[in-house]
Amino acid sequence: MRAAGARGRDPFAVIAEDMLAEGIGRKGRVGAADSHLFEASQAVDYAVTWIESRLR
């Protein structure tokens, strides 16, 4: 995982950006909205590890 400067930012947005930077998930448009699409199990595993390493 890359180091993220999450101070003052929504940690879930930072997690999504980190995941995309590591090639996990896809970024695209759904209708008129910019969207991030992730496999749920990968997102949960990644987010748990990210939160435990940064927010404890």
State the Cα–Cα distance between residues 37 and 28, nearest whole angstrom: 8
4-20 confidence digits (pLDDT tens)? 455 688 888 899 999 99
pLDDT of res. 21: 95
pLDDT digits (tens, 9 = 90+) for 40-53: 999 999 999 998 98
- For 36, left (φ over 0), alpha (ψ -120 to 50), or beta? beta
pLDDT at 24 (0 to 100): 95
Grouping H, G, I as helix, E, B as strand and the rest as coil, residue 18 is helix
The number of helices, as runs of H, and strands, as runs of E, in the chain is 2, 2
Look at residue 5 in the predicted model and tell me its pLDDT: 53
**pTM: predicted TM-score of the whole model, two decimal places:** 0.73
